[in-house]
């Protein structure tokens, strides 16, 4: 069995926050329209992978809690929905373009681990999210960074 992977997934809390995930327990991560992020979901994400749930465009922006991948990549239905902002006219049911994994709520941090704090923490200087201009909405995370964050938040 392959070892677990760790991810950071961004969401704007106005759209879908960690509290929304908590209420619904599980949610399809629909609406990803970036090929790199899609490829992480279709090629690398496994059930049981750990997810840092990141609030972007928030006050403050930062890691709000934890989730777990609970469903492998499946066809994102919104690409066929003409009324959706995520509609993609190039997609067909025979040849879908976009996929989504399912994630399950795990934990809300007592306090947001803000981007500012991540930047200040030298142990986390390799994290992609602190890199200037890093807009990727799904990012791989090193196990040691994940564990470091947990130790700081839990401690």
Partner DNA sequence: GCCAACGTTGGC
Residues in the chain: 155
Residue 133 contacts DNA per CB under 7 A? yes
Pairing between β-strand 99-114 and β-strand 26-28 as defined by DSSP bridges: antiparallel
Interatomic CA distance for residues 65 and 72, integer angstroms:
21
Choice between 4 and 97, CB closer to DNA: 97
If the CB atoms of residues 66 and 129 are measured against DNA, the closer one turns out to be: 129
Number of residues that bind DNA (CB under 7 A): 21
Three-state DSSP state, 104: strand
Closest CA to 26 of 107, 138, 108, 103: 103
Provide the β-strand partners of residue 52. Answer: 8, 66
The interface mask with DNA, positions 57-96, x = CB under 7 A, is xx--x-----------------------------------
Asked if 102 is part of the footprint of DNA (rule: CB under 7 A), the reply reads no
Beta carbon nearer to DNA, 44 or 114:
114
- At closest approach, how far in Å is the CB of 94 from DNA? 20
Residue 123 binding DNA, by CB under 7 A: no
Of 65, 37, 33, give the one whose Cα is nearest residue 137. Answer: 37
Q: Does 13 bind DNA (CB under 7 A)?
A: no
* 3-class DSSP state of 148: helix
Q: Which residues bind DNA (CB under 7 A)?
A: 10, 12, 33-36, 56-58, 61, 115-116, 119, 129, 131-137
């Amino acid at each position: 069995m392959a070892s677990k992977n760790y991810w950071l997934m961004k969401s704007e809390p106005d759209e879908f926050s960690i509290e929304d995930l908590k209420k619904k327990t599980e949610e399809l991560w629909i609406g990803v329209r970036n090929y790199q992020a899609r490829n992480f979901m279709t090629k690398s994400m496994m059930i049981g992978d750990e997810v840092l749930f990141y609030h972007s465009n928030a006050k403050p922006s930062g890691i709000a809690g934890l989730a777990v991948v609970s469903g492998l990549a499946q066809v994102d239905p919104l690409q066929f929905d003409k009324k959706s902002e995520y509609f993609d006219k190039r997609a067909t049911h025979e040849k879908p373009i976009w996929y989504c994994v399912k994630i399950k709520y795990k934990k809300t941090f007592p306090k947001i681990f803000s981007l500012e704090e991540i930047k200040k923490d030298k142990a986390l200087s390799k994290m992609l999210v602190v890199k200037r201009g890093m807009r990727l909405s799904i990012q791989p995370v090193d196990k040691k960074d994940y564990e470091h964050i947990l130790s700081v938040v839990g401690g």
